[in-house]
Amino acid sequence: MKAITEVYPLLATPAKIAVTTHQKPDPDAMGSSLALCHLLRQLGHTVTVVSPTNWADFLKWMPGAGEVIDFEANREKATMALKEAEWVFCLDYNHFDRTKNLAPLLRELNATKVLVDHHQQPDTAAFQYGISDTGKSSTCEMIYDFIVEGGWSDKITLDMASCLYSGVIGDTGSFRFKATKASVHRMVAHLKDLGLNHTEIHEALYDNFLENRLRFIGHVLSNRMEVFYEYNAALISITKGDLLRFNIKTGDTEGLVNYPLSIQGIKFAGLVIDRDEERKWSFRSKGDFDVNTFARLHFEGGGHFNAAGGRSSDALDVTAQKFRNVLKEFEHQLT
């Protein structure tokens, strides 16, 4: 993979470009893709954003989100855009597996692929150009750097600033996590100078619940959370029945995995949801417990040091029991 800086001069020639991100895009995935799309259009390119799947309603306000093609809902249109593209940007994922059903198509494309991502263990051989930096708070911060280093600071519009800010607050837990370095605050200061309305964005992302979602959280915390004080850990397992009873949609379970970490002493939390096609895991930790390794070793996943995900083909009770068993192995790191 060649350095991202080599891409800047090549973007002087207008081209057809596709921007892609991981399945079930979060604020960072959607924000970085849309901000890059807006920049590239200003540079004279023809740009399409393709998401492997649908996304949460709380992202729909983002400028440009209405034009994003959902591959699962519109395969023909998405496939055509990707096959026509001379460049494919790959944002907020570093392995095609993270794009679910889109992966086989991405692998076979002849386009020049560019990676911009901050997850661990990138598959750098799959991309011709790019940057992978696990020290970065978010892909949105990396797209901001891309814009500034490319000499396009004057092209940051208020719409782009809103997209970039969303990803930063999403991935830093509103400036809480370790990766929130001074550079993040400098970037936000710049975005504020451009007129960013941070209150409005925070409300759009987080104060948007329907009543059923709040009641669902109450149910889950009361009835589906187990706390293992001997391991400073907790587990939440959510059944298909729970999802049906509370009419839970994409995005409604976002943030649930963080609740156990607000209990005194708890530094590791696992959340598993019984989805139709698989059991989907989320892991979060505080301090020096590495959930990326935990997810890779036992739940076919990965991610960051303190935030990772995974999956299982086992039944819900089987995979939950595996989590309880595996905790013992990590006792010395957790206590």
- Site residues for ligand 5GP per CB under 6 A: 22, 98, 119, 282, 301-304, 307-311
122, interface contact from ligand 5GP, Mn ion, none, CB < 5-8 Å by kind:
none
36 forms bridges with which residues in the sheet? none
Largest interatomic CA distance in the chain: 60
311, interface contact from ligand 5GP, Mn ion, none, CB < 5-8 Å by kind:
ligand 5GP
The secondary structure of residue 73, as a DSSP letter, is T
User: In angstroms, what is the minimal distance from the CB of 48 to ligand 5GP?
Assistant: 22
Contact segment (CB under 5 A) with Mn ion among 6-14, 27-35, 93-101, 123-131 equals 27-35
User: In angstroms, what is the minimal distance from the CB of 46 to ligand 5GP?
Assistant: 28
Cβ–Cβ under 8 Å, residues 45 and 14: yes
Lookup result for tokens 């990396």:
142
> H-type helices in 43-181, by residue range?
75-84, 103-108, 139-149, 158-172
The secondary structure of residue 267, as a DSSP letter, is -
Residues in 152-181 that interact with Mn ion by CB under 5 A? 171
Cβ–Cβ under 8 Å, residues 248 and 256: no
CA pseudo-torsion sign 137, 51, 124, 35: negative
Burial class of residue 203, CB neighbours in 10 A (0-12, 13-18, 19+): exposed
307, interface contact from ligand 5GP, Mn ion, none, CB < 5-8 Å by kind:
ligand 5GP
Taking CB under 5 A as the rule, does residue 28 contact Mn ion? yes
User: In angstroms, what is the minimal distance from the CB of 95 to ligand 5GP?
Assistant: 6
What is the token pair recorded at 151?
A: 């000499």
Residues in 65-84 that interact with Mn ion by CB under 5 A? none
Cβ–Cβ under 8 Å, residues 301 and 308: yes
Residue nearer to ligand 5GP on the CB measure, 32 or 282: 282
Residues in 134-153 that interact with Mn ion by CB under 5 A? 139
22, interface contact from Mn ion, ligand 5GP, none, CB < 5-8 Å by kind:
ligand 5GP
> H-type helices in 85-181, by residue range?
103-108, 139-149, 158-172
136, interface contact from Mn ion, ligand 5GP, none, CB < 5-8 Å by kind:
none
User: In angstroms, what is the minimal distance from the CB of 118 to ligand 5GP?
Assistant: 8
**Residues 134, 122: Cα–Cα separation, whole Å:** 10
Residues in 109-138 that interact with Mn ion by CB under 5 A? none
Residue nearer to ligand 5GP on the CB measure, 70 or 300: 300
Residue nearer to ligand 5GP on the CB measure, 64 or 309: 309
Among residues 88, 90, 61, 51, which one has the least CA distance to residue 159?
61
304, interface contact from Mn ion, ligand 5GP, none, CB < 5-8 Å by kind:
ligand 5GP
Phi, psi of 97 (to 5 degrees): -55, -25
Q: Which residues bind Mn ion (CB under 5 A)?
A: 28, 92, 139, 171
